[in-house]
Structure 1
Amino acid sequence: MDFYKQKRFICEITGHSALTFFDALKSETPLSFKEDFYPGENVTVAINGGERLSGTIREKTRFQGFLNQDGTMQPPFQRYFVRLTNQPDREALVDEKHLFRDRKAFTKAMLRSFIKNTVTRDAWTGAPWIVKEHIAVKYRIDTTVPQHLTYASHIAEKKANLAQKKDDTNSISVMNGMVQTLPELRPKSHKSKQEQALGKNQKLREQTHRNESHGTSGAQSNGGSSFINNFNHNFPVIRPPPKASHTPTPPPLKLPAEDLEIPPARNVPHRPPLKHLSQDNPAHAKGTKNVEGNGILMESVGSLLETWNTLNVYCEVYCLDSFTFDDYVEALQFSSEDVECELFVEIHCALLKLLIEDDGSIAVRLPEIPDDDESNEADSSINTSTIPTPEPEAKPKLKFVGRRTTRSSFVKVEVVPLGTHRAAEMLADYDWVERLKKNDFRNGGWEVVVIGVLFQLSLNPKMKDVCESLLAKLAPMDEEPTQETARLQYQKLDINFRTKILQIICMLTIDTKAVRDYMDECSEQMTQLRKVKIEWQRAKRVATEELRQLEEERKILLPDNLPSLTELQTDTTGNAKTTGANVAEDEEEAADSDSEEPRAARSLRGGEHRAANRKRKREQEQEKKEKAEAAAKAPKVSNQFKKILKEIEKRKERIKECEQEITTQDNDLREADCFRTKVLGKDRFHNRYYWFERNGMPYAGLPTSSTASAGYANGCLWVQGPDDLERVGFIDVPDDENRQYQKKFKMTVAERKKLEEGSTSLTNACHWGYYDEPDSLKSLLSWIDIRGVKEVKLHKELLALQERITRYMEARKRYIALNEEKKQQSEEPTIRMSTRTKTYVGATSHRCLAWRNTTALSELGHLHSDPPRPTRRAAKRAELDRETRSGRQGKLPTRQGARYNF
């Protein structure tokens, strides 16, 4: 019984704790709402046989009470239809006495946890509970606070009450010079007794002064002649002052607030001007272009950044060296018939090779090309059913189905047009999948594979328009469907079409098993790195605590191991005396030497050397003597104190090691985070800011890359315009909201955007700009208003990364300046440069030509564009075949008519 009498039980209904078992049972007994159940609730049903089954209440029926024949009253009761979980075809009709709830599903603790996880409130007394944003969005709950529950109404009501109290105080008559008012009820003060006494004295003095002023002013104003009902009394009447109209002032803005709700500051400089990579940037008028442009359209900038980021984040999967963004853009712009850009070719070949598994199967889902028989049957059925009487005006379109083997088919092809491209004819004899299996990429091979991929993707209705426009450029109708045509047409493509092709192929490779496995490996690696980081953090905490304890011990032992004040004074006096004696001795020696100068003519040989030796010996003896005296006067440090000092140094080294390891783990976590590109934040106008080196790649690219000397990867802070969903709802607002905003801030949101962003404003998500100067980054930080909800986060991220961003901006500037100098030097006229009527293209004039795929050479043994080298067994077998095919004289058969492979 002692256990049940302990005050450790809780009433499950009220939540009251610190009760005995009997008190808790007594508290739960009279409360019967627990026996009321509702449809949709999961309960436990007790059947007459004693079996308990779980079920869900389907329907609840309530019956009213009635009077029995014997005069007794039948109380109201309920009946429940319960659908049994394990027996869906059966239902139980029971009352509340046979239903039970799970004890863990209805407690005050769970209710408290539910409230904590679903609602929130502001930090002022009386603030209403508001459903959290993700819950409100999920269940479509309106979170608009009623006007009478807002903070402004609360403040206005409080001020009105205070004003009413003042009016009531002034309206009460004055008796004997004292105002008779009822005591005001206030909460208990937390001040000390002395502070309360001082406050009371101060109030008494103010009250006395107020009464005196009222008396004098009343007597003066009435002149002793103002009486009520001609009653001659000597007490003046205090009339209440006229009530002032109290207009509730708006409450102070709670910070951080919504960015566009913050009043715009005056005389603030514009946002630093953005630079644009594209030729048709939004600063120019519509339909006009720069005269000296690079040919890049604004709609291609996002694709350029996307493909570059994908290739560098997953460069280990593609087996590519990392490369800078500037080299990538230059490689996509480079085109020459004499010089091959290795970066451009290797990117395409690496992406295409990932579309095929090791066993030769296609690694991605592509639309299937219909068979020739099915297409022929479909065409014949269409011809027989829909063209009984042909019209001369209509021009039927012919769909290419397989090879042309009859004369009639040749005639038909000559008469009827074949569409917008000849990709199917180019792939008729040599399928792109077979070419990809054999790594036949040379002399236009990979260009034909690209055409095959685009042709098969064009069968998808969503991709048809894009692929058809690209195929019309690569396999035009007025050119022969050959491999050489594909190579030449790809050289003529501008950077916008090339970027579009790379974006399509990159999106295909993301769905391959190789990339998914790489993501899984990175996820597992991040889990291990977090564990290691936690261990180092724990070791740092232990070392920090030990260092704190050692510092306390050192402070305790420090007074016993310091020199006393008398020793310090003696040391100072002794040093001064010694210094004075040395000075006097030097002066005497100098005087002797001066006096002996006239007699130096008859001195012996080597006398000066002997005097110098004696002086040097005296100085050495004096130095030894001073060191001995200093050692004797030095305080004797205890061994325990020395040991503590050594331990302190060890702990400091340990903490430093832990911090270095934690930094290393953080950097590894950042590089392994390859799942998505993270945005730094958004400004007040919903522009997004990106620094692509933030996650998924090293800050300066792979250290083993052939262009690692550049010292950067992207080197720019990129800005993307607002998304359409955000632009329509926050910038392009309805007219009524626009008028309210203009009434409040004297301008619309669009006018504010134009005013604060300047001429380089971005209108939608397809528009991009960038900063590449450290000064622009500083100006951007000063332009950002940290009072806003979004901009305070953006400012925090930029401030944390400012040093790194500045470092790689400067590295990019040095790299481009160095290459510009080399380009100028290469453009100078050189002596004895023979190009044999060909345009000379050197690596110094184009940065992208200096890139080499060393990763493929080290891991594969060859470039992606080259066929794999034969193994030793295959080489030996080829040698045996050559010996068997050779003649009696050991010569090989003639090679006339064969194809030469150099």
Structure 2
Amino acid sequence: MVLFKRKPVRFLPAAEIEDENAEVWHIPQTGEVFTSYDSYLDRMDFYKQRRFNDQITGHSGLTFFEALKSELAGGKEVEASFPEALKGPILRKVQFQTVSRLDNLVDQIYDEFKHDYYPGEEVTVTMKGGDRAHGLVRDKTTFGPRALPDGSHSLPTTRYLVDLKDSEEETIVTDEHICRDRGIFTKAMLRSFIKKTVTRDAWNGAPWLVKHDYASQYHIDTRVPPHLRYDTKVMERKQLQAQKRAHIYHETNGHDLTSALQSGPVRLPELKPAPKSKAKPGQHGSGSKGLKWPLNMPVHGGNPFSSSSDCGTQTPVQREPTPPPPPPPPPKYPIEDLQLEPRDDRKRPPLKFLCRNPPAKVENDDAIQDDFSDKINMESIGPLLETWDTLNVYCEVFKLDSFTFDDYVEALCVASEKVPIQLIDEIHCSVLKILVDSEADGGKVRISLPEVDEEHSEEEEEEEEDASALPTPEPEIKLGRRATRSSLAKAEAERLAAEAAAAEKESEEETKHRAEQLLEDYDWIEHLRKRDFVNGGWERILVGLLHQLSENERQHDVCEELLHLLVPAGVDATQETVKQRYAQLDVNQRVKVLQIICMLTTETKAMRGYMEDCSETMTTYRKERIEWQRQRKQAIEDLRQLNEQKKILLPDNMPPSPPKEEDGDVKMAEPDDSIMSREADGEETEDDPATRKRRRPLTAKQRKQEEEQALKKEKEKAAKITKTSKPPAQSKQFTKLLKDIQKKEDIIKKCEDEIAVIENDLREADCPRTRVLGKDRFWNRYYWFERNGMPYGGLPDSSTASADYANGLIWVQGPDELEREGYIDLPADLQEEYKAKFDMTVPERKAMEESNTSVFNAHQWGYISEPEHVDELIKWLDPRGFNELKLRKELLAFKEKIAKHMQSRKTYLSAEEENDKKEETQKRMSTRIRDKSPDTSNYRSLQWENTTALEELGHLHSDPPPPPRSRKQTRKREAVNDAPTPAPAAKTRRR
């Protein structure tokens, strides 16, 4: 079914028509009938919005009728391609499943049926000798687990009876020797089949239900179990909420909840509105909200049975004034961006423009802008970015080294016959190779080309030649019975008009391009198969391609324009002429050619196969990421438990407090004093003869005893220190705990590193479409082309990898036509309403907040190149708006990468500027080279070299493949090159 905002489109109920003769309007695709033309138009406007999705194929951005047509076609394709034998078992398995996400359901079903086969399936059987044979499953027998002698159970086994097609024999095999052919049962097919045959309600916990047509066809029970019904879920939810409210009520009112539960089910308090009665003078507040006193009781505490006269003597109470209504609640953010109040203190950083006709005049300090902006039209910026992004995202398909956007623009601007640039030749030749296979690969044309009616054109040429050879007869004037002057004048006027038309046609034919003369006896497809690119070969092939594409109405005008430039009428139609004319094209015309041929590559098998491989790789990466995230989650939980154990053991394992400085000084001083006293005593015994006479000299035995005592004391001190510093008895357990905590932290870090690597791999493999960073309040789109599909700095082994950036800019595209009309250029009444609210119109606010550097439509582009401007842009964005909340989040996620590669771009360009200045200085100092032609070696794009083609093909795309070597020459060279040395070309291939 067709989806709108991820929900099935609900058709309007049938209208009640009382008068059968009344005029009605009918929509045949939906069966809806309308009694008024306005309601019919409103419904058709709704259906013609490009906001519908095809549920089966997943295509989005379609009208309802396009989505319905696509869904019917996709449904027929699914019905035809999905194995008939698997439909019934899979639908029985899916019925009443409660897995919420379709992706998880597909994975679950696919894993279960991947190695399970059913009667009627075509399979491939691996025979005993290793040979493979095709067959048809006739019967399937499943055996349960068997009890083994050791008490364990074996795995269940399944045996299949298969009819072999070639030998017409039957064989019995297990699931180990049977498999399906590749592409018969895939996740994509299973997902489309489930989308077509199964539905699910939009409430939490809803089961998947097989549609009634398929349920009756495959005899599947459609009675929903009671526990899966919506009303059961609602009753459970209501009971749970009632129990919570009762619990809160009893807690707040002090009732004994346990006694209430024992006495019976909890009954909610009965709330009744206060009686609506007019208050009498003596009964103030009787009808007021929140009544707390009985109606017959005085407010000031009197007897309720006293007379009314007593009540009348009481002082009347003044009625309090009605409180003002509460202020409206603050808006719940986020809201629409333009509904936030303007702020003149913050402005978006100014944009720069890479063109000669910018929408606003700005001063650019960008080197590339100063050099080439006067050659580029604003209309060419979008195709420039589109072609550069295509060539770099799919550089592995084209076998091209990646290159920076600045080098690409420079190459397109400066390439000429005098300045040949390898980048231009390699781009054209590599893209043309994708369109047609080489002779060695079969020479198949991989794109759909319009047919050229050669016979018709030849007949027209022959007729024109015959007509030109014969003299042109004057038209005969058929005179009636009564010829008048007026009839003769009318016939003469018709003759003159015919002559003028013929002359105009002849002049048009004279100004026509000469592509047909260039392509006479030249089959461009055959030359493309042979890879005949040298000496103007690829330029001539390109003319043949453009000439054939001009038969297509959508591409006729642009192809004719380019053909007029490449093979004009007044120039000889030769291959050398075409080569010279192409070298004279400006950057805007070259971009048109590249855009045409790059768009053709999207139809090719190589491009689609690469995208499918990337899609499968991304699926594998996502599964790996889920596994690493699961391990990280488990490690975090284990770490939390270990930290709780650490808190318990920490008081008993606190490290000893460090000794105070005073105690430390005393301890350190004691042995020094003893040593000093000993040294002093020794000096006295040696130097003072009186002292030596008074003391008895020590014998050798006494000296030995003293040394042993001193050594014993030192050991006791060391043991005492060791005893005091020895950790408590639990320290081993605590040490082990600390080691376990460190291990878990290492595991968490490893998981996070792996997840980061997988996230980057996912980003690089995401190649089908360019991801936009987001939109701002004025619906401008922001692109950072390194966001997906390529490495941040280009291929690391590219010849210009030292630049360390790919595009290095944030590009800003203006709003499309619908967004501009719906949000910016509002009708006059809505502009006045907006001005009454914010004191300015939306265009005035746009001019004020965008620093007068605005882009106004989707064909206009500006860019931000300074790292500090990225911070200013983030500050300018208001996270209270829908658009800018998402854009700000993306910018914050990639802020560091964006700033880094912006700085790398500035460094790369400034280094080239410094080299240019040095060369200019040297030229001024030397007078001998003033009259020479300017040196072209300072162009950055000349440093690029297609090392990828050299490594994979052995030659450049624009060069012919090397001829095959004879066996004798090969043997001679092998004999000469016994000790191989690195080739000199290898030194220049990597920088």
Q: TM range, normalised to the smaller chain? A: 0.5 to 0.7
Q: Secondary structure at the match of 1:502?
A: helix
- C-alpha distance 621-354 of structure 1, shift in aligned 2 (>3 A): farther
Alignment of 1:565-644 (within 5 A): 575-581=664-670, 630-636=721-727, 638-644=731-737
Moved more, 666-675 or 329-338: 329-338
1:364 maps to 447
Q: CA deviation at 1:419?
A: 3.9
Letter in 2 for 1:428: E
Is 1:841 the counterpart of 2:924? The answer is no
Is 1:859 the counterpart of 2:952? The answer is yes
Which residues of structure 1 form unaligned runs of 5+?
1-38, 41-83, 87-99, 115-163, 186-199, 213-229, 399-411, 600-619, 880-902
| Candidates 539, 545, 548, aligned match of 1:456 | 548
8 Å Cα contact 2:348/2:876 also seen in 1:
yes
Deviations 1:149-195 (A, max 9, x none): xxxxxxxxxxxxxxx99x999x75356xx75556738xxxxxxxxxx
8 Å Cα contact 1:438/1:867 also seen in 2:
no
Q: CA deviation at 1:269?
A: 2.6
Q: Secondary structure at the match of 1:274?
A: coil
Deviations 1:178-214 (A, max 9, x none): 75556738xxxxxxxxxxxxxx9xx9xxxx9x989xx
1:395 maps to 502
| Candidates 280, 302, 308, aligned match of 2:357 | 280
Provide the rounded CA distance (Å) in 2 between the counterparts of 1:583 and 1:511.
91
Deviations 1:808-828 (A, max 9, x none): 111111111111111222223
8 Å Cα contact 2:642/2:737 also seen in 1:
yes
Provide the rounded CA distance (Å) in 1 between the counterparts of 2:640 and 2:320.
67
Alignment of 1:4-153 (within 5 A): 102-104=222-224, 109=229
1:264 maps to 342
Q: CA deviation at 1:621?
A: 14
Q: CA deviation at 1:479?
A: 1.2
- C-alpha distance 381-330 of structure 1, shift in aligned 2 (>3 A): closer
- C-alpha distance 709-392 of structure 1, shift in aligned 2 (>3 A): same
8 Å Cα contact 1:562/1:635 also seen in 2:
no
Q: CA deviation at 1:540?
A: 1.8
Provide the rounded CA distance (Å) in 1 between the counterparts of 2:447 and 2:430.
15
Provide the rounded CA distance (Å) in 1 between the counterparts of 2:380 and 2:918.
32
Is 1:667 the counterpart of 2:760? The answer is yes
8 Å Cα contact 2:335/2:881 also seen in 1:
yes
8 Å Cα contact 1:351/1:509 also seen in 2:
yes
Provide the rounded CA distance (Å) in 2 between the counterparts of 1:433 and 1:377.
25
The number of residues matched between the two structures is 651
Provide the rounded CA distance (Å) in 2 between the counterparts of 1:731 and 1:499.
31
Is 1:479 the counterpart of 2:571? The answer is yes
8 Å Cα contact 2:878/2:884 also seen in 1:
yes
Q: CA deviation at 1:587?
A: 8.7
8 Å Cα contact 2:282/2:312 also seen in 1:
no
- C-alpha distance 372-768 of structure 1, shift in aligned 2 (>3 A): same
8 Å Cα contact 1:732/1:750 also seen in 2:
yes
Q: Percent identity?
A: 46
Q: Secondary structure at the match of 2:863?
A: strand
| Candidates 583, 595, 609, aligned match of 1:517 | 609
8 Å Cα contact 1:257/1:787 also seen in 2:
yes
**TM-score normalized by the length of structure 2:** 0.59
Letter in 2 for 1:576: D
Q: CA deviation at 1:776?
A: 0.7
Q: Secondary structure at the match of 2:435?
A: coil
Provide the rounded CA distance (Å) in 2 between the counterparts of 1:421 and 1:395.
19
Q: CA deviation at 1:564?
A: 5.9
8 Å Cα contact 2:513/2:568 also seen in 1:
yes
- C-alpha distance 478-374 of structure 1, shift in aligned 2 (>3 A): closer
Is 1:750 the counterpart of 2:839? The answer is no
2:417 maps to 337
Provide the rounded CA distance (Å) in 1 between the counterparts of 2:465 and 2:314.
116
Q: CA deviation at 1:526?
A: 0.6
Deviations 1:662-703 (A, max 9, x none): 111111111000010011111111001111101100000000
8 Å Cα contact 1:420/1:468 also seen in 2:
no
1:537 maps to 629
Provide the rounded CA distance (Å) in 1 between the counterparts of 2:716 and 2:920.
74
- C-alpha distance 105-635 of structure 1, shift in aligned 2 (>3 A): closer
Q: CA deviation at 1:362?
A: 1.7
Provide the rounded CA distance (Å) in 1 between the counterparts of 2:877 and 2:466.
68
Q: Secondary structure at the match of 1:829?
A: helix
8 Å Cα contact 2:426/2:946 also seen in 1:
yes
8 Å Cα contact 2:435/2:604 also seen in 1:
yes
Q: CA deviation at 1:625?
A: 10
- C-alpha distance 556-751 of structure 1, shift in aligned 2 (>3 A): same
Q: CA deviation at 1:645?
A: 2.5
- C-alpha distance 184-236 of structure 1, shift in aligned 2 (>3 A): closer
2:787 maps to 694
8 Å Cα contact 2:771/2:783 also seen in 1:
yes
Deviations 1:688-731 (A, max 9, x none): 11111011000000000000000111111111101101101111
| Candidates 943, 961, 965, aligned match of 1:872 | 965
- C-alpha distance 704-590 of structure 1, shift in aligned 2 (>3 A): farther
Provide the rounded CA distance (Å) in 1 between the counterparts of 2:223 and 2:315.
74
Letter in 2 for 1:758: S
Deviations 1:794-841 (A, max 9, x none): 111111111111111111111111111112222233599998986353
Q: CA deviation at 1:744?
A: 1.9
Provide the rounded CA distance (Å) in 1 between the counterparts of 2:955 and 2:756.
37
Provide the rounded CA distance (Å) in 2 between the counterparts of 1:183 and 1:674.
65
- C-alpha distance 867-835 of structure 1, shift in aligned 2 (>3 A): farther
Is 1:722 the counterpart of 2:815? The answer is yes
8 Å Cα contact 2:831/2:841 also seen in 1:
yes
- C-alpha distance 494-104 of structure 1, shift in aligned 2 (>3 A): same
Q: CA deviation at 1:355?
A: 0.9
Provide the rounded CA distance (Å) in 2 between the counterparts of 1:552 and 1:417.
91
Is 1:311 the counterpart of 2:419? The answer is no
8 Å Cα contact 1:563/1:634 also seen in 2:
no
Deviations 1:479-535 (A, max 9, x none): 111111111111111111111111111000111110000001001111111111122
Q: Secondary structure at the match of 1:769?
A: strand
Provide the rounded CA distance (Å) in 2 between the counterparts of 1:757 and 1:593.
92
Provide the rounded CA distance (Å) in 2 between the counterparts of 1:852 and 1:794.
37
Q: Secondary structure at the match of 1:479?
A: coil
1:52 maps to none
| Candidates 749, 756, 769, aligned match of 1:676 | 769
Q: CA deviation at 1:239?
A: 7.0
8 Å Cα contact 2:518/2:574 also seen in 1:
yes
Provide the rounded CA distance (Å) in 2 between the counterparts of 1:282 and 1:732.
17
- C-alpha distance 233-698 of structure 1, shift in aligned 2 (>3 A): closer
Q: CA deviation at 1:545?
A: 2.6
- C-alpha distance 448-745 of structure 1, shift in aligned 2 (>3 A): same
8 Å Cα contact 1:718/1:770 also seen in 2:
yes
Letter in 2 for 1:173: P
Moved more, 101-110 or 426-435: 101-110
Is 1:561 the counterpart of 2:653? The answer is yes
Provide the rounded CA distance (Å) in 2 between the counterparts of 1:374 and 1:769.
46
Alignment of 1:187-266 (within 5 A): 234-235=313-314, 251-265=329-343
1:173 maps to 281
Q: Secondary structure at the match of 1:770?
A: strand
Letter in 1 for 2:741: I
Quote the RMSD (CA, aligned, Å).
Answer: 4.6
